[in-house]
């Protein structure tokens, strides 16, 4: 499936690159700027936490090879659209590499740490071997740590400086090199001395710093692996094989070989391999892994089924309709991947800061060194150097770069597990700022499956005849109300004649010719337009509408013949969902093309105070704009198809109860289940994610703001600064991972 997705990406001028060699936010920032400056690239987003770059480009202007070459020129590696397994292999190799380097570095650094303990007056009780105090023994241990294990820092620093920028590698290389080469200078200077082991050296500073940074990187790599768990979970839902009927025989084949039109057998307890339709059998299907709906859905002949859902009871024969990248699961995975790889606007804060951070820190370190050397402790080169190293190390901007993307990954992934798909990080951020929410009535608040409730004939007309004519007229309409009327007529075993002419009048009703008689069915506006007098019907019509029914007036050859009442019942959870939206402080509005009395009856039933009734489909977007003109951030909730203009105009468009291509294109957020409770869930998830991002940014910035002055003041030894820097990055990632345990 992933390869199919990749081919589709290429044809559209969009690709995902796995980036190797990034160490901090400055790296991600530099790659992003470099790619965005490349002619033909429309947009590039680099995600430090995922270690990926999403690139939209014009194939006629720039090739994929040129994009990869640009990344290489900047000093990093790029692998074009790896599969999930390839990404997992890369991540696994990186974790093992970091772990092995950490073990070797720790073993070599331990004697140096032991020797350091011998320098303090309060640790004289610790026995230290004389060999450990020998400067050349320390040199032998520190050199491979500095130049073999720590070589990556020099490479990274060189590449960054070559591109006229600076990153974490520059800070680490500067700090550790200063400690190492100053110690080497003291060792050479002490050669004539007979007791060289009494010299105060700083080999342990450089080695322990590198060890602690590697430890932080290892923990960080482990935590990043957990943050992409949502994608792994979704990938794991897919069936690996399918039982297909080929040449009259049942054959077990790999899922990749199934094509549209294949007939599949799905036994009880098995996963449905692909999207399709039931052509034989009946069963209950557990769709909770995609929709969040815990109650299994009953499936019979003609019903659609979704790949990766589980057949609970009976055996089903299914005709494959969508396979590979076309399935609902593939679309969901694509949406989640894009959301996790995208940027929320709040990340711009971190990007701006990280872009100028390293040069400023180098300046602060230089000022610290000079201040201690000439003012605080004149002539104490070693002391001044130690304070400058501490400043360089404590200021590494790793935590700042990880603050936003890790939260976006965890938050959007957790939301997907509840059937809530955010199309991008910007929509995840926008949802928490919503002030007003507009709910479409049909299919959103109500079930979207109206039922015929009553037929009221006019004087001189028979109830059965009125229903027969209006049922025949509505056969040509695709409106849900038409389906209810036709179903009601057929339930009474009425024969419905064919209409010889059919005209749909949007927002008003229909006009048809049946058995040489002109039949109208629709609203009062349609009757007024056609000059039909319906005065006699208004009182009873008002009573039916006040009870929540939608009433269609019927006229035959210009004379009022009766009315039919249809009711679309409210979903069981709509009232509770509206109450939750109000608790979140939102102004809730219902919008519908239905008449005002019916609309108000439904609104009152679920607790909505403001109703926009008799709004034509093209007018919904205008109503959303009116609310926005009142200074409110507005979300529109609809079915993602006929509400598309309003969904596009709203600050956040939410498509409910559908996983179709159209819904995902039209909406910023798609709710896979048809439950209105998903709307407050989505807003709550947005608020929790943004709160988590703000916590991360605060602590990342506060850590540097507080840590740098403490280090500059001499209260932080370099090895402590290294430990604090490593802890800050890991703590930010772990804080973001708390979102994976959020209960909605």
- What sign results for the dihedral spanned by CA atoms 252, 258, 263, 265? positive
CA torsion, ordered 520, 522, 526, 527, to nearest 10 deg? 60
Q: Which residue has the tokens 């969009």?
A: 14
Measured distance CA(211)–CA(590) in Å, rounded: 60
Q: Which residue has the tokens 């796995």?
A: 18
Of the candidates 399, 370, 372, 75, the one whose C-alpha atom is nearest the C-alpha of residue 223 is 399
Cβ proximity of 19 and 341 under 8 Å: no
The strand pair at 669-671 and 652-656 is best described as parallel
Q: Distance of alpha carbon 121 from its chain centroid, rounded?
A: 55
Secondary structure element (H or E) that encloses residue 77, with its range: strand 77-80
What own/partner pairs with CB < 8 Å and gap ≥ 24 does 330-335 have?
330/1, 330/4, 330/5, 331/659, 331/661, 331/664, 332/234, 332/290, 332/416, 332/421, 332/659, 332/672, 333/1, 333/5, 333/231, 333/234, 333/235, 334/5, 335/416, 335/421, 335/422, 335/423, 335/664, 335/670
Secondary structure element (H or E) that encloses residue 512, with its range: strand 509-514
Cβ proximity of 241 and 231 under 8 Å: no
- SS3 of the chain: helix, strand, coil, percent, to 5: 55, 20, 25
Of the candidates 569, 624, 613, 570, the one whose C-alpha atom is nearest the C-alpha of residue 590 is 613
Of the candidates 317, 335, 331, the one whose C-alpha atom is nearest the C-alpha of residue 273 is 317
Residue 140 CB partners (closer than 8 Å, separation 6+):
none
Cβ proximity of 581 and 437 under 8 Å: yes
From edge to edge, which strands make up the β-sheet containing 559-567? 451-457, 559-567, 550-556, 517-522, 509-514, 499-505
Tell which phi-psi region holds residue 491, choosing left (phi > 0), alpha (psi between -120 and 50) or beta.
Answer: alpha
- Give all strands (DSSP E) within 287-412, no chain letters: 297-299, 304-305, 310-311, 316-322
Cβ proximity of 646 and 637 under 8 Å: no
Q: Residue 271 carries which DSSP code?
A: B
Q: Residue 535 carries which DSSP code?
A: G
Cβ proximity of 41 and 62 under 8 Å: yes
> What residues are annotated to the active site?
440
Q: Which two tokens stand for residue 400?
A: 């700042």
Measured distance CA(276)–CA(371) in Å, rounded: 73
Of the candidates 307, 308, 284, the one whose C-alpha atom is nearest the C-alpha of residue 295 is 284
Measured distance CA(664)–CA(334) in Å, rounded: 11
């Amino acid at each position: 499936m992933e390869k199919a997705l990749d081919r589709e990406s290429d044809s559209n001028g969009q690709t995902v690159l796995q980036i190797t060699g990034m160490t901090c936010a400055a790296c991600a920032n530099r790659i992003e700027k470099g790619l965005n400056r490349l002619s033909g690239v429309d947009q590039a987003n680099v995600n430090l936490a995922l270690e990926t770059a999403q690139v939209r480009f014009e194939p006629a202007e720039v090739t994929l090879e040129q994009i990869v070459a640009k990344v290489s020129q900047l000093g990093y590696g790029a692998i074009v659209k790896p599969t999930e397994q390839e990404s997992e292999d890369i991540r696994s190799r990186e974790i093992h590499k970091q772990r092995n380097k950490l073990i070797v570095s720790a073993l070599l650094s331990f004697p140096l740490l032991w020797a350091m303990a011998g320098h303090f007056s309060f640790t004289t009780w610790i026995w230290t071997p004389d060999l450990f105090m020998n400067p050349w023994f320390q040199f032998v241990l520190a050199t491979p740590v500095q130049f073999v294990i720590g070589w990556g820092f020099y490479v990274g620093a060189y590449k960054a400086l070559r591109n006229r920028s600076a990153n974490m590698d520059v800070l680490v290389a500067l700090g550790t090199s200063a400690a190492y080469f100053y110690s080497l200078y003291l060792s050479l200077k002490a050669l004539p001395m007979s007791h060289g082991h009494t010299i105060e050296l700083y080999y342990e500073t450089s080695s322990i710093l590198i060890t602690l940074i590697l430890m932080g990187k290892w923990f960080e790599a482990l935590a990043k692996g957990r943050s992409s768990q949502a994608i792994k979970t979704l990938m794991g839902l897919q069936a690996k094989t399918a039982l297909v009927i080929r040449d009259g025989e049942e054959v077990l084949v790999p899922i990749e070989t199934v094509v549209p039109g294949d007939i599949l057998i799905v036994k009880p307890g098995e996963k449905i391999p692909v999207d399709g339709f039931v052509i034989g059998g009946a069963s209950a299907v557990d769709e909770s892994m995609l929709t969040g709906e815990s109650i299994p859905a009953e499936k019979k002949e003609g019903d659609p089924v979704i790949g990766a859902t589980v057949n609970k009871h009976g055996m089903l024969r299914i005709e494959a309709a969508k396979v590979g990248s076309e399935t609902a699961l593939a679309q969901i995975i694509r949406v989640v991947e894009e959301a996790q790889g995208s940027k929320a606007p709040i990340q711009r804060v971190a990007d701006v800061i990280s872009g100028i951070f390293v040069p400023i820190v180098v300046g602060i370190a230089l000022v610290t060194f000079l201040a201690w050397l000439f003012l605080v402790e004149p002539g104490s080169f070693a002391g001044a150097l130690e304070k400058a190293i501490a400043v360089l190390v404590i200021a590494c901007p790793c935590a700042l770069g990880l603050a936003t993307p890790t939260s976006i990954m965890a938050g959007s992934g957790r939301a997907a597990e509840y059937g809530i798909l955010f199309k991008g990080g910007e929509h995840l951020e926008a949802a928490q700022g919503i002030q007003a929410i507009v709910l479409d009535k049909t299919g959103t608040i109500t079930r979207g499956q109206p039922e015929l409730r009553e037929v009221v004939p006019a004087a001189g007309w028979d109830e059965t005849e009125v229903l027969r004519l209006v049922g025949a007229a509505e056969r040509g309409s695709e409106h849900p109300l038409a389906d209810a009327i036709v179903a009601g007529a057929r339930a009474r075993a009425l024969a419905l004649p064919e209409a010889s002419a059919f005209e749909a009048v949007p927002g008003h009703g229909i006009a048809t010719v049946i058995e040489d008689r002109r039949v109208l069915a629709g609203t009062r506006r349609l009757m007024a337009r056609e000059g039909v007098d319906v005065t006699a019907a208004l009182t009873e019509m008002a009573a039916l509408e006040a009870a929540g029914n939608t009433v269609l007036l019927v006229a035959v050859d210009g004379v009022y013949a009766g009315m039919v009442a249809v009711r679309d019942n409210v979903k069981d959870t709509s009232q509770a969902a509206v109450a939750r939206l109000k608790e979140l402080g939102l102004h809730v509005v219902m919008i519908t093309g239905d008449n005002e009395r019916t609309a108000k009856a439904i609104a009152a039933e679920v607790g909505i105070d403001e109703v926009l009734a008799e709004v034509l489909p093209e007018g919904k977007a205008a109503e959303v704009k009116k609310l926005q003109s009142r200074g409110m951030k507005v979300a529109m909730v609809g079915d993602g198809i006929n509400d598309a203009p309003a969904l596009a105009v709203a600050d956040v468009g939410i498509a409910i109860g559908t996983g179709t291509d159209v819904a995902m294109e039209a909406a910023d957020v798609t709710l896979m289940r048809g439950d209105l409770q998903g709307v407050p869930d989505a807003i709550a998830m947005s608020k929790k994610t943004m709160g988590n991002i703000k916590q991360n940014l605060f602590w990342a910035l506060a850590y540097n703001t507080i840590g740098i002055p403490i280090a500059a003041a001499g209260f932080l030894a370099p090895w402590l600064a290294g430990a604090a820097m490593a802890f800050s990055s890991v703590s930010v990632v772990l804080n973001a991972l708390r979102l994976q345990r959020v209960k909605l």
